Amino acid sequence: MGRQQDDLRPISIFPQMRGSPPGCQGTLATPSRNLFSPTLAPYTSQRAKQARSAPRPLDGSPTQSKNPSNGCAPKASTITTASDGRSSIYFARASKCTKTCCLRAVMGSSLRRILLWTIVALVVAYAGFGVLARTTGVIDRYFIFFPERTLDRDPGDRGLDFEDVYFEASDRVRLNGWFVPGRSDTTLLWLHGNAGNIANRVDNIAEIHDNLGVGVFIFDYRGYGRSEGKPTEQGTYLDAEAALKYLRSRGDVNPERLVLFGKSLGCAVAAELASKNDVQGVVLESPFTSIGAMAKRAYPFLPGIRSFVRTRYDTLSKVGRFGAPLMVLHGNRDDIAPFDMGVAVFEAATPPKRFYRIEGAGHNDTYSVGGHAYYQALGEFLDNLPKGDG
């Protein structure tokens, strides 16, 4: 009688291959040597002898016994030795390997291929979107400009005398604005931010007018309020040029006391205007360095986002191109245009310049949080502007 099955050392009938999942292997009750070694002394049973004479499939493939337990590792394997070609049966101990386990390696490889191609597809789609966005300006239209057409207020609601005026840009776009005369000979050309329209700034201009006595001319860029057209970066520059030209044409405005007042996106417009025109002074409130820098800070997880937008509004590169006195005001709690961007703009500017930190102010509440100290600092800057040619 042959050796007992439990006397034999188990080896793997499905050798552990590189990359196969742990545990996906069966065990043979035989010494852990090469199964085809001529020194192997297999146990030959009557069943093995019958297997040698059993009918084989027409294609010549060997028959396999069914495994009623789990179907993963065969109940017995027929192996032909290298020495005499005889077939012998090696009984396999039961393993924890199941059909699901044995398929895991194949499925894992397929999943890796699917994941790889998914990543490639996403990268290609992302790059394609970037090219499309850059070409069509879709991000510029829907993520930079937020105009509103309806004017639900005017300076008269705050008891101010004002003139509703219309003028044209150089490309024949018709623009609308309000002129509020002041007690002093200084007039502010107000360049507002990217959202709403001039009606949203009524309280702001009323407070500055009442506290400082200055005249204010505020207008809407193309596409905002009652101004015609659609907003673009170059369009806002043309609109600002037209507004400055209009102010200089008025007999009740001293051209040597014109000061640009930019707010948020309007800071970039003011910097561009000052770099090409002589003005008495420039005030930048809550400036950002550039649209690209804002996009990168808002979406740090999107690589190359800066190149997706055509609009630049590069305030940082323009503040060094004019010599007019500059004042930068910025709230230290600004969550839209970060405070450090205001500092960077100030540091890039040429003297004379002044920086005023508005303690506790955010982006849209600078004048209300700043209070008396805010108007005092702004008033001192305006009073100290040179009286020379503008």
Six-digit token string for 255: 């051209």
Q: Residue ranges of the domains in the chain?
A: 1-97, 102-136, 142-383
Containing 294, the helix (H) or strand (E) segment is helix 291-298
What pLDDT is recorded for position 359? 98
The reply to whether omega before 338 is within 30° of 0 (cis) is no
* Whole-prediction pTM: 0.69
Per-residue pLDDT of the chain (390 residues; tens, 9 = 90+): 444 444 434 333 334 444 444 444 444 444 444 433 444 444 455 555 555 555 554 444 444 444 444 444 444 444 444 445 554 444 444 455 555 665 666 667 788 888 888 887 776 665 665 555 555 555 566 679 999 999 999 999 999 999 999 999 999 999 999 999 999 999 999 999 999 999 999 999 999 999 999 999 999 999 999 999 999 999 999 999 999 999 999 999 999 999 999 999 999 999 999 999 999 999 999 999 999 899 888 777 766 666 777 788 999 999 999 999 999 999 999 999 999 999 999 999 999 999 999 999 999 999 999 999 999 999 999 999 997 554
What pLDDT is recorded for position 137? 58
- Asked if 189 and 183 count as a contact pair (C-beta separation under 8 A), the reply is no
Classified as helix, coil or strand, 146 is strand
DSSP secondary structure string for all residues of 323-347: -S-EEEEEETT-SSS-HHHHHHHHH
What pLDDT is recorded for position 213? 98
- Asked if 11 and 27 count as a contact pair (C-beta separation under 8 A), the reply is yes
- Asked if 48 and 77 count as a contact pair (C-beta separation under 8 A), the reply is no
Please state, in angstroms and rounded to a whole number, the distance separating the CA atoms of residues 155 and 135.
40
Containing 292, the helix (H) or strand (E) segment is helix 291-298
How many Cβ atoms sit within 10 Å of the Cβ of residue 324? 21
Please state, in angstroms and rounded to a whole number, the distance separating the CA atoms of residues 191 and 284.
10
Classified as helix, coil or strand, 83 is coil
How many Cβ atoms sit within 10 Å of the Cβ of residue 282? 24
How many Cβ atoms sit within 10 Å of the Cβ of residue 156? 12
Containing 185, the helix (H) or strand (E) segment is none
Query: Domain 142-383: what homologous superfamily?
Result: Alpha/Beta hydrolase fold, catalytic domain (3.40.50.1820)
Instruction: Name which of 124, 143, 148 is nearest 292 in CA terms.
Output: 143
DSSP state of 188: E
Rg, Å, the chain Cα set = 40
Percent of the chain exceeding pLDDT 90 equals 57
Residue 278, CA distances (Å) to 244, 270, 273, 322, 390 in order: 11, 12, 9, 8, 6
Please state, in angstroms and rounded to a whole number, the distance separating the CA atoms of residues 256 and 277.
12
Residue 383, CA distances (Å) to 10, 154, 259 in order: 97, 28, 12
Instruction: Quick: pLDDT tens for 339-378.
Output: 999 999 999 999 999 999 999 999 999 999 999 999 999 9
Please state, in angstroms and rounded to a whole number, the distance separating the CA atoms of residues 112 and 302.
24
The partner residues of 165 in beta bridges, in order of sequence, read 177
The partner residues of 76 in beta bridges, in order of sequence, read 91
- Asked if 218 and 201 count as a contact pair (C-beta separation under 8 A), the reply is yes
Residue 143, CA distances (Å) to 80, 125, 135, 334 in order: 73, 20, 15, 19
What pLDDT is recorded for position 254? 96
What pLDDT is recorded for position 84? 53
Could you give the angle at which helices 202-212 and 366-383 cross, rounded to 10 degrees? 40
What pLDDT is recorded for position 97? 55
The partner residues of 175 in beta bridges, in order of sequence, read 167
DSSP state of 62: P
DSSP secondary structure string for all residues of 232-291: -HHHHHHHHHHHHHHHHH-TTS-GGGEEEEEETHHHHHHHHHHHHS--SEEEEES--S-H
Q: In what order do the strands lie in the sheet with 326-331?
A: 163-168, 174-180, 215-219, 187-191, 258-263, 281-285, 326-331, 353-358
Please, where are the H alpha helices in 99-182? 99-136, 138-143
What pLDDT is recorded for position 297? 86
